[in-house]
Structure 1
Amino acid sequence: MHLLLQLIVLFLAFNSHEYKPVEAYVLPYSSLAIPINKHTDAAKPLYSLQIMTSYLMMGFVTTNYLIDLDAPFIWHDCIVQSNTSLFSCPANKLCAYPVSCEDGQCTDFRTTYAYENPSCAPVTNRSMVPGWYPCTCPINVVNPLTGSCSKALLNIDDFTVQTSNGRNILTPYYGIVPYAACAPSSSFQSFPANVSGVMALSTSPYALPARLRDPLKGVMALCLPSTLSAPGVLLYGNGPYYFLPNSDIDVMSFLSYTPLIQHPDSYGYFVGIHAIIIKKRSIDIPMNSTTKLSTIDPYTTLRTDIYKSVIRRFSKVTKRIPPAEPVAPFGLCFNTSTNGDQVSLKVPDIHFVLQGGKSWTISTSNSIKQITKVVACLAFVDGGAASDIAIVIGTFQFEDNFLLFDHINSTLGFSSSLLGKQTSCSNFNFMVTDSN
Structure 2
Amino acid sequence: MEKSLVVLCLLLFSAYSYVSAHNYSPKTLVSTVSKNTILPIFTFTLNKNQEFFIHIGGPYLVRKCNDGLPRPIVPCDSPVCALTRGVSPHQCPLPTNTVINGVCACQATAFEPFQRLCNSDQFTYGDLSISSLNPISPSVTVNNVYYLCIPKPFLVDFPPGVFGLAGLAPTALATWNQLTRPRLGLEKKFALCLPSDESPLNKGAIYFGGGPYKLRNIDARSMLSYTRLIRNPRKLNNYFLGLKGISVNGKRILLAPNAFDFDRNGDGGVTLSTVFPFTTLRSDIYKVFIEAFAKATSDIPRVISTTPLEFCLKSTTNFQVPRIDLELAAGVIWKVSPANAMKKVSDDVACLAFVNGGDAAAQAVVIGLHQMENTLVEFDVGRSAFGFSCSLGLVNASCGDFQTRP
In the aligned structure 2, how far is the partner of 1:383 from the partner of 1:367? 17
In the aligned structure 1, how far is the partner of 2:132 from the partner of 2:45? 14
Question: In structure 2, which of residues 287, 290, 301 is the aligned counterpart of residue 322 of structure 1?
Answer: 301
Point out where structure 1 has 5 or more consecutive residues left out of the alignment: 1-26, 53-59, 80-88, 338-342
Are 2:372 and 1:402 aligned? no
In the aligned structure 1, how far is the partner of 2:251 from the partner of 2:36? 36
Give 1:232 deviation, angstroms.
Answer: 0.8
Q: How does 1:14-413 map to 2 (within 5 A)?
A: 30-42=27-39, 45-52=40-47, 60=48, 62-79=49-66, 97-102=71-76, 104-105=78-79, 107-118=81-92, 120=93, 122-126=95-99, 128=100, 130=101, 134-164=103-133, 171-176=137-142, 177-214=144-181, 215-227=185-197, 228-244=200-216, 247=217, 249-266=218-235, 267-285=237-255, 286-287=257-258, 288-289=260-261, 290-336=269-315, 343=317, 345-413=319-387
Structure number with bigger Rg: 1
1:29-71 per-position Cα deviation (integer Å, ceiling 9, x unaligned): 53111121111202xx11112111xxxxxxx4x2111111111
1:149-195 per-position Cα deviation (integer Å, ceiling 9, x unaligned): 12221110211111226xxx663422223210111352212223321
Q: 1:395 to 1:170 in 2, by over 3 A?
A: farther
In the aligned structure 2, how far is the partner of 1:229 from the partner of 1:344? 27
SS in 2 for 1:408: helix
1:88-116 per-position Cα deviation (integer Å, ceiling 9, x unaligned): x58xxxx6732244450463145323223
In the aligned structure 2, how far is the partner of 1:396 from the partner of 1:199? 20
In the aligned structure 2, how far is the partner of 1:163 from the partner of 1:302? 38
In the aligned structure 2, how far is the partner of 1:174 from the partner of 1:309? 50
1:225-268 per-position Cα deviation (integer Å, ceiling 9, x unaligned): 11421321111222232212xx1x32111111110000112221
Q: Residues 350 and 362 of structure 1 are in contact (CA less than 8 Å); yes or no, is this contact kept in structure 2? A: yes
1:387-407 per-position Cα deviation (integer Å, ceiling 9, x unaligned): 231100000000011111111
In the aligned structure 1, how far is the partner of 2:139 from the partner of 2:110? 30
Equivalent pairs, count: 368
Which residue of structure 1 aligns with residue 6 of structure 2?
A: none
Q: 1:28 to 1:205 in 2, by over 3 A?
A: closer
Give 1:359 deviation, angstroms.
Answer: 0.4
Q: 1:147 to 1:105 in 2, by over 3 A?
A: farther
Q: Residues 231 and 239 of structure 2 are in contact (CA less than 8 Å); yes or no, is this contact kept in structure 1? A: yes
Q: 1:416 to 1:140 in 2, by over 3 A?
A: same
Give 1:349 deviation, angstroms.
Answer: 2.1
SS in 1 for 2:277: coil
Q: TM-score, normalising length from structure 1?
A: 0.78
In the aligned structure 1, how far is the partner of 2:357 from the partner of 2:388? 24
Q: Residues 98 and 153 of structure 1 are in contact (CA less than 8 Å); yes or no, is this contact kept in structure 2? A: no
Give 1:344 deviation, angstroms.
Answer: 6.5
Q: Residues 106 and 154 of structure 1 are in contact (CA less than 8 Å); yes or no, is this contact kept in structure 2? A: no
Are 2:403 and 1:429 aligned? yes
SS in 1 for 2:347: coil
Point out where structure 2 has 5 or more consecutive residues left out of the alignment: 1-23, 262-268
Q: 1:170 to 1:279 in 2, by over 3 A?
A: farther
Structure 2 counterpart of 1:379, which letter?
Answer: A
| More off after superposition, 312-321 vs 298-307 | 312-321
In the aligned structure 1, how far is the partner of 2:65 from the partner of 2:384? 34
1:94-140 per-position Cα deviation (integer Å, ceiling 9, x unaligned): x673224445046314532322335x4741314x3x5xx63533322
Q: 1:295 to 1:344 in 2, by over 3 A?
A: farther
What CA RMSD, in Å, does the superposition of the two structures yield over aligned residues?
A: 2.4
In the aligned structure 2, how far is the partner of 1:76 from the partner of 1:108? 20
Give the structure, 1 or 2, with the largest relative contact order (CA under 8 Å, sep 6 or more). Answer: 2
Which residue of structure 1 aligns with residue 20 of structure 2?
A: none
Q: 1:29 to 1:258 in 2, by over 3 A?
A: closer
Which residue of structure 2 aligns with residue 7 of structure 1?
A: none
